[in-house]
Every structure is written in structure tokens, then in C-alpha cells.
Structure 1
Amino acid sequence: MATRKSRTRGLGTAAAAGLGLLTGALAALAAERRTVNAVQARLDRLEAQVAHSHRHANLANQQNLHWELLSKAIDSPELAEVLDIFEAPASPLERRQYLFANALYTNLLFYYRIGNLSREEFFGRVRGLLQNPVVREYWFATRGQRATLPEDSDEAELGRMVDDLLRQLEEADTEEWWVVGEPPTE
């Protein structure tokens, strides 16, 4: 009988050892899965950062090209005529001023798009720009161009915000222009 119990105990020990080995293997697989998931999450974040960096680089290149083209038009009345798509006829001087106002506004728009300005900061800077009568004339003269923007684009949304701010500035009966308008919430 002693022999029989010894065999049964040996099988029990082998089963326990096998169960321990299986438990260890499952724990190792679970740890490996967590590691793989963590590495995948890190890779996803890095890919998103690279895509974000590429978008910023593309915006910067576009901003540079925009400025180069506007500079040529500002320097040459003949080239500025090509960009005369304003709602009212503009003299060569007004055209040059409008092109420069466009460069200023586009620069703010670019800063906003890359995250260098919050929406509230954008609002404040535009409120300051709108104190200049030429910038106001430019804004009215380009109303038709903004109407062609996709309704849900950042540029269209910001344009509507500027339209509303300009309306408020014109209706305000205060000399303290810096308090006119409600800054947007993010």
C-alpha cells in the first residue's frame, strides 16, 4: 500500500507542477501582452506627434509662400491687380494696404492653427487690428471671399467671430475698444 500512495502522491505533485508551469506561462503571456499594448500605445502617440509636426511644417511652408506672393504683389502694382478681387474697386494704394492687411490677418490665423495663439488670444489680437480703418475696409471688401469658405472650416468659423466682433465694435458707444466683445471660450 505504501507504494500505491507514493504513486498517487507523485501524480499529484506532477499535476501541481504542471499547473504551476501553466500558471507561470499564462502570467508571462499576460505580462507580454501588457508590454506589447504599452509599446503600441507609445508608437501611436509618436505617429500622432510626427503627423502633427508634418502639419506644422506644411503650414509654415504655405505661410512662407503666401508671404512671398503677397510681397511681390505689394511691391508691384501690376501684380497686385491680379489679386484685386475685392467687392468694391480699390485704388493701387488701397490694394497694397488690403494685401498687407491680409498678410497680418493670415499671420494671426496661422499662429492660431499651429497652437501659438489660443482662440481668446486670437480674438484679442484681431480686436486690436480692427482699430485700424484700413483693416476694417479690407474686412468688408473681402466678405465675398469668406462666403466661399467651407462652413465648418476653422477659417470660416474665425471669420464669423471677426464679423460679430466688428459689428459689436461699430455698435459700441465706448472709447474703450479693448473691452468690446465677449472673448470666445475654447
Structure 2
Amino acid sequence: MATRKHRRRGWGFSLPSARRHRETNLIQYQRLHLDLLFKAIDDPDLVAVMDTYGGAVPADTQRQYLMANALYTNMLLAYRVGSVTRKELFGHMRLFFQNSVCREFWLATAPQRASLDPDSEEYSIGRMMDQLLQDLDEASDNEDWWVVGTPPES
């Protein structure tokens, strides 16, 4: 299998071309996804096209959800391409959930995550984040949010 040398976090390693191709495709998909999100954020008339809430969420809130979606998918991409570990992703999501709009977005999109393949990595990450949000909600007001939840090993 062909390999190409990459540098990540200062260490050299070989990345098989199939994996490199997958990561390139993920990055290109992310760019397209963000372009679509930002078009809807910038144009209130396009928010209705992105409405997956059955009209139950006001357009201004939907625009905020689109931004939360952009933040989440960016963190997910960073994990998928190896820029952050699963444990680091967990830490980023702790911070993400400190924002009430991001929490609302996460809860509002539970039906979309429920439709994911239970064997998929995104489903597994979603379940991990659901548990984190539950742990944060159950934490006492005296508990420091940055230590709530049980981060994954790696």
C-alpha cells in the first residue's frame, strides 16, 4: 500500500493513501457543509430550507443552531482526521455545553442522532456526549464543570 509521510504534532509517521484519501474527502465535505450552513445563517430566507424541527423553532434560534452545528461538526472533523484525541474531543464538548444555545441545539437534534447507524463512530460519539450532558445537568452547582463526566481513555 502506498504511503506518504506526514507530520502531526511534531512526529513523523506514514499515512496509508486510502486513509489520506478518506481524510481529504472528509475535509472537502466539511467545507461544503460549512458553506451551506453559513449561507443559511447569512440569509434568513434560507433558514426554512434547513429547518428540521417542523417549524417549532423560530428562525433566529434556527440560525443559532446552525452555528452550533458548525462548531460541533468542526470538532467532530478534528477528531476524525486525528487532530484531537477522543479524550480531547470530550473536553471540547464540555466547553461547548457551557453555552445554553449549544445545549438546546444538542437536545433539539436528538432525533437526528437517533437515526444514525448504532455501529457508527458518530453514533458512539453522540451517546458519549449525551451522557456528558446528562452528567453536567446532574452536577451540583458547586462542582467545577471542567471535571464533570468520565472522559474516554484515548
TM-score by length of 2: 0.88
Greater per-residue strand proportion: 2
Equivalent pairs: percent with the same residue? Answer: 49
Q: What is residue 76 of structure 1 aligned with on the other side? A: 43
Indicate yes or no: 2:45 matched with 1:112: no
Greater per-residue helix proportion: 1
Question: Cα gap change, 1:97/1:74 in structure 2, threshold over 3 Å: closer, same or farther?
Answer: same
The structure with the largest alpha-carbon Rg is 1
Q: What is residue 88 of structure 2 aligned with on the other side? A: 121
TM-aligned CA deviation for residue 175 of structure 1: 4.2
Q: What is residue 46 of structure 1 aligned with on the other side? A: 3
Q: Which amino acid aligns with 2:88?
A: E
Indicate yes or no: 2:114 matched with 1:147: yes
TM-score by length of 1: 0.73
Q: What is residue 94 of structure 1 aligned with on the other side? A: 61
TM-aligned CA deviation for residue 84 of structure 1: 1.2
What is the aligned counterpart of 2:31 among 64, 72, 88? Answer: 64
**Structure 1 segments (4+ residues) deviating >4 Å:** none
Q: What is residue 8 of structure 1 aligned with on the other side? A: none
TM-aligned CA deviation for residue 46 of structure 1: 2.7
Q: Which amino acid aligns with 2:92?
A: R
Q: What is residue 135 of structure 1 aligned with on the other side? A: 102
Q: What is residue 6 of structure 1 aligned with on the other side? A: none
Indicate yes or no: 2:131 matched with 1:164: yes
For structure 2, list consecutive stretches of 5 or more residues without a partner in the other structure.
5-14
User: How far, CA to CA, are the matches of 1:130 and 1:87 in structure 2?
Assistant: 24
Aligned residues: 143
